[in-house]
Structure 1
């Protein structure tokens, strides 16, 4: 049997992930079965299990590639001169989330599943780590340029600023998914008012 190429393998995994995400969006994670994912993908069950051992592995993969990809896609901003101010960065992240090929409700479902599912919990923590490292690096650079701090002070204060910014983003995702009267425009306006662009 000919060996499948890496590009072909990745394409097949992405095909399965897209089908799974569509099923999760319509049915919810708990109500989606492997049979639903098989039907949605147009592949055989054998083909699915060649790439993923379980539904948990599919959930984890989708979380890593979709949610984690939001922050990976913004890495080029770290080389911007000047860097965008913190409130502007949160706006850009919010826009990336809105444009990503995933419903925000899926992210909340992943969080809920992560409470009791070790495989999904590991993926959720991995995604947070990617996001935190990106925002921490941004904050370090911002505080030492736009913030006017020396490099040591910037390095010390950056983790706290990164946590605050991610707390706002995570709260935005949760409220977008749950509250009918929630306004992204109000969130961004409030964020601009709450986050000062300089620590001084």
Structure 2
């Protein structure tokens, strides 16, 4: 029997994650069954379970991919001169999230799922830690380059400001998911205008 390469495994996991995300977009995490993910993927149940032991494992994988991409967005932005001011970062994050997920409601459902599923809760915590680290590095760098702030002071400022940036993204997700007449552009413009620089 021929050996399965790592590239094949990664490609198959990607295929399953993409199928799951399509199903999640239609019905949400909670309402989507493994049978629906299997049907969406076109693969056998054995093929799915060979890569993911449970729906929670798929949810964790999909969410990790989305957040990993957003962290890469921040790291790429740190390579561009001049650096965008920190209040521009929530727009970068929500734009990328919408591109990946299609709906902010999926992220809100993930947070809700984290309250009852320990595996998803662990992921949600890890995501916040990773996002906070990427944003802190960026904001610290911005203060150093833009204002000439010494590195230790810039780091301290970043630690204070990053929770506000994360809260701005969370506020966007909640309101865009729940408020029918939510004005996304006005919200992001206000974030850019009023959050500290």
**Which position in structure 1 is the counterpart of 2:185?**
185
State how 1:101-120 maps to structure 2 within 5 Å: 101-120=101-120
Decide whether the 8 Å contact of 2:20 with 2:58 is kept in 1: yes
> In the alignment, is the contact (CA less than 8 A) between 2:21 and 2:62 conserved in 1?
yes
C-alpha distance in 2 between matches for 1:174 and 1:17: 24
Once residues 65 and 46 of structure 1 are traced to their aligned partners in structure 2, the CA distance between those partners, rounded to angstroms, is 23
> 2:145 & 2:72 partners in 1: Cα distance?
22
Two-structure CA RMSD over aligned residues (Å): 1.5
Determine the structure 2 residue equivalent to 1:56: 56
TM, length-normalised to structure 2: 0.93
Partner of 1:95: 95
Offset of residue 155 of structure 1: 1.5
2:97 and 2:122 map into 1 onto residues whose CA distance is 21
Q: For this pair of structures, how many residues does the alignment match?
A: 197
Structure 1 residues 160 and 196: alpha-carbon distance in aligned structure 2, compared to 1, 3 A threshold: closer
1:159 maps to what in 2? 159
SS at match of 1:131: helix
**Cα distance in 2, alignment partners of residues 123 and 67 from structure 1:** 10
> Could you give the per-residue CA deviations for residues 117-140 of structure 1, whole angstroms, max 9, x where no partner exists?
111111112222221111000111
Gaps of 5+ in 1: none
Asked if the contact 1:64/1:126 (under 8 Å) is kept, the reply is no
How far apart, CA to CA, are the structure 1 residues paired with 2:110 and 2:39?
22
Deviation at 1:23, TM superposition (A): 1.2
Q: Distance in 2 between matches of 1:3 and 1:102?
A: 37
Q: Could you tell me which runs of 5 or more consecutive residues in structure 2 were left unpaired when the two chains were aligned.
A: none
Q: Deviations over 1:79-129 (max 9, x none)?
A: 222211122233222322222244211111110000111111111122222
The normalised TM-score by structure 1 is 0.92
Report the equivalent of 2:170.
170
Q: Tell me the equivalent position of 1:11.
A: 11
Question: Is 1:32 aligned to 2:32, yes or no?
Answer: yes
Decide which moves more: 43-52 or 161-170: 161-170
Alpha-carbon separation, structure 2, partners of 1:91 and 1:53: 35
Aligned mates of 2:179, 2:147 — CA distance in 1: 35
